Amino acid sequence: MSKIKDEISKRRTFAIISHPDAGKTTLTEKFLLFGGAIQTAGAVKNNKITKTAASDFMEIERQRGISVATSVMAFHYKDMLINLLDTPGHRDFAEDTYRTLTAVDSVILVIDCVKGVEAQTERLMEVCRMRKTPVIVFVNKLDLEGQDPFDLLDELEEKLGIQVRPLSWPISGGSTFQGVYNLYDHNVRLFQSDKTKIATDVVAIKDLDDSKLDDLVGEHANQLREDVELIDGVYDEFKPEPYLMADVAPVFFGSAVNNFGIQEMLDIFIQIAPDPKPVETSTRMVNPEEEGFTGFIFKIHANIDPRHRDRIAFLRICSGKFQRNTFYKHTRLDKKMKFTNPATFLAQDKSVVEEAWPGDVVGLYDTGNFKIGDTLTEGENLQFRGIPSFSPEIFKELVNKDPMKSKQLEKGIKQLTDEGVAQLFIREAGNRKIVGTVGELQFEVIQYRLEHEYGAKCEFQAKPYHKACWIVSDDQEKMGEFRKIKANDIVRDKDSNEVYLAPSQFLLNMEMTNFPEITFHTTSEFKTERA
């Protein structure tokens, strides 16, 4: 087996997605515990343990208790290198999550057994279906009084539009929760409430008629036997192929906060989850086993360490081998760049990496050369696709509260919007800045970060816009006419593309009728289509 094939087969790159409060950050932390990356887990909401979750490292995240930036972590587990991307659960940060899904090969979706499938979960699942991303479902919080597991499976199928197949099964639930039965490996793991250590009691039970089961879980043994018989009758036998084709989602049950049911999932995940996959570019499909290095930037994080003003661009490696201190071509800028200290991350601990392989995510220190979606290659001209900016839903003008700090404000808003937290539109008359986001919470985050990281005070004034449309046309005369009529509503994005800010759907429809020669795009993806 070639070195590159060998490295690829050891890699698993996935994202954890969920609705807020379903327990995603807790699950992330427990994965790190199993990988030996951390020794004890600090329950996120448990004030007795003040260590916050390893993946929430921005001050405002600690205050709000929600993940507002996707964190990237790598850990080893049973000879595998697992690249885990934790995503924001809050709907205001959906765009960050969508972009992260472009950089992973599979997804673990966390569902709260009390609340079931929520609206945000449905939206995230739509993106997974669109991208044909394989999904494993983890039903969390079984130590709470939740819904009947069979009802939950029906709800998953109905609302998420995907067939499911349980691979572990809860033995009772809520206050009488006993543990989980592993339908894949046929063993029982007994539940102990331990928030910081790993549950160790695993009893192999090959045959459910074994009386040992009655000794272990008492009155719940017969219910388990009936449930398993029903599962085998209703659901097809699990096969990896339909899962890899994103047609079937395996389901696991457990309690992340109590560190339970997670190891079953992790053990099976490393067996069945896909290796790094081929990725589409503007000109061809790139296969991970190719010799030539390629990769793309899917996330930018400013000020990972506020003392050092550093900006890190996260690179997903798609093919070949990435090496430190080697020149690579930045295809958009058409220039050669080399990286002296590329980093991998274990939450806040960074370590310099000498080489990396397809599936890996590497942090590159950046002085402003990168934008989300940029491509690096060994020389070939290609551009990875599928990392769009969506039309924002809320628009506000950025107002400077301290004229002495104009430079800091300019720099700060540029860096934060490069991160993809929000989109920046400039109205040329008066150089006015309009910030567009998908939710109100981003404005709070931007305001907080501008003040605490850049020393710039600002406020936001709401603007009555409904949608941003990127406008293109081959008819320059009509474009000129439209510019003249709509001068007040035309702005430029950070790449200088023209954007029409439509005050309402009605007016947008009217302009589309009046100007059939102009195409109105609601995502910026058309730029790579044209490239």
Q: Would the pLDDT of 205 be above 70?
A: no
- Residue 395 has a pLDDT of 94
What residue type is 303 in one-letter code?
N
- CB environment 89-122: b (16+ within 10 A), e (fewer): bbbbbbbbbbbbbbbbbbbbbbbbbeebbbebbe
| DSSP one-letter string for 91-108 | GGGHHHHHHHHTT-SEEE
What's the Cα-to-Cα distance from 196 to each of 33, 65, 126, 199, 379, rounded to whole Å?
9, 19, 34, 10, 48
Residue, of 47 and 71, whose pLDDT is higher: 71
Collapsed DSSP state (helix, strand, coil) of residue 115: coil
Q: How far is CA 2 from CA 6, 7, 291, 312, in A?
A: 6, 9, 11, 32
Q: What is the pLDDT of residue 161?
A: 86
pLDDT score, position 376: 93
Question: What mean pLDDT is reported for the chain?
Answer: 80
* Pairing assessment for the beta strands 71-77 and 80-86 based on DSSP bridges: antiparallel
Measured in degrees and rounded to the nearest 5, phi and psi for residue 46 equal -95, 110
Per the rule left: phi > 0, alpha: psi between -120 and 50, beta: everything else, 373 is left
Main-chain dihedrals φ then ψ at residue 86, nearest 5 degrees:
-90, 135
- Which amino acid is residue 386, in one-letter code? G
Output the pLDDT for position 315: 92
Q: pLDDT by residue (tens digit) across 445-477?
A: 889 888 888 899 999 999 999 999 999 999 999
202-206 average pLDDT score: 61
Higher pLDDT, 432 or 389: 432
149: three-class secondary structure by DSSP: helix
**385-388, long-range: CB within 8 Å, 24+ apart, which pairs?**
385/280, 385/281, 385/282, 385/525, 385/528, 385/529, 386/102, 386/131, 386/280, 386/525, 387/99, 387/102, 387/296, 387/298, 387/525, 388/523, 388/524, 388/525
Specify the range with the lowest mean pLDDT, choosing from 83-92, 180-189, 293-302.
83-92
Are the beta carbons of 136 and 250 closer than 8 angstroms?
yes
Residue 310 is which amino acid? D
Average pLDDT over residues 500-523: 91
DSSP code of residue 237: P
According to CATH, the topology of domain 3-272 is Rossmann fold (3.40.50)
Who has greater pLDDT, 402 or 33? 402
- Given a cut of 80, is residue 256 above it in pLDDT? yes
| Confidence category of residue 89, pLDDT binned at 50, 70, 90 | low
CA angle 462, 464, 465 (to 5 degrees): 110
Cβ-in-10-Å burial (0-12, 13-18, 19+) of 179 comes to: buried
| Residue whose pair of structure tokens reads 């370590």 in the numeric block | 351
pLDDT at residue 441 is higher than 90: no
pLDDT at res. 29: 78
Rounded mean pLDDT, 65-87? 74
Amino acid at 29: E
Q: Quick one: average pLDDT of 205-217?
A: 69
Helix (H, G, I), strand (E, B) or coil at 516: coil
Q: What H or E segment, with its residue span, contains residue 77?
A: strand 71-77
Q: Check whether 55 has a pLDDT greater than 80.
A: no
Tokens of 219: 């009155």
Question: 394-530: which CATH number, 3.20.20.10, 3.30.70.890, 3.30.565.10, 3.30.70.3280?
Answer: 3.30.70.3280
Encoding tokens for residue 519?
């195409």
Pick the CATH number of 279-377 from 3.40.50.2300, 3.30.1490.20, 3.40.50.300, 3.10.310.30: 3.40.50.300
By three-state DSSP, how is residue 375 classified? strand
How far apart are the C-alpha atoms of 429 and 493, rounded to whole Å? 14
Q: Is the distance from CB of 380 to CB of 346 less than 8 angstroms?
A: no
Q: How far is CA 462 from CA 413, 431, 466, 494, in A?
A: 17, 17, 12, 20
Residue 206 has pLDDT above 90, yes or no: no
> For residue range 354-369, what is the model confidence (pLDDT) as tens digits?
899 999 999 888 887 8
Contact 44, 64 (CB under 8 A): no
**Structural domain boundaries of the chain?**
3-272, 279-377, 394-530
Of 177-181, 307-311, 499-503, 526-530, the range with the lowest mean pLDDT is: 526-530
Distance, CA of 311 to CA of 415 (rounded, Å): 8
Q: What pLDDT does residue 132 have?
A: 86
What CA–CA distance (Å, rounded) separates 229 from 225? Answer: 6
Burial class (CB in 10 A: 0-12, 13-18, 19+), 425: buried
Mean pLDDT of 153-173: 87
3-class DSSP state of 217: helix
DSSP secondary structure string for all residues of 286-332:
EPTT-SS-EEEEEEEEE-SSTTTT-EEEEEEEEES-EETT--EEETT
* pLDDT grade for 40, boundaries at 50, 70 and 90: very low
Burial of 410 (0-12, 13-18, 19+ CB in 10 A): middle
**pLDDT top residue among 175 and 393:** 393
Q: Which of 44-58, 102-116, 377-391, 412-426 has the highest average model confidence (pLDDT)?
A: 102-116
pLDDT-derived band at 349 (thresholds 50, 70, 90) equals low
**Coil/strand/helix, residue 193:** coil
Decide if 3-272 and 279-377 have a common fold: yes
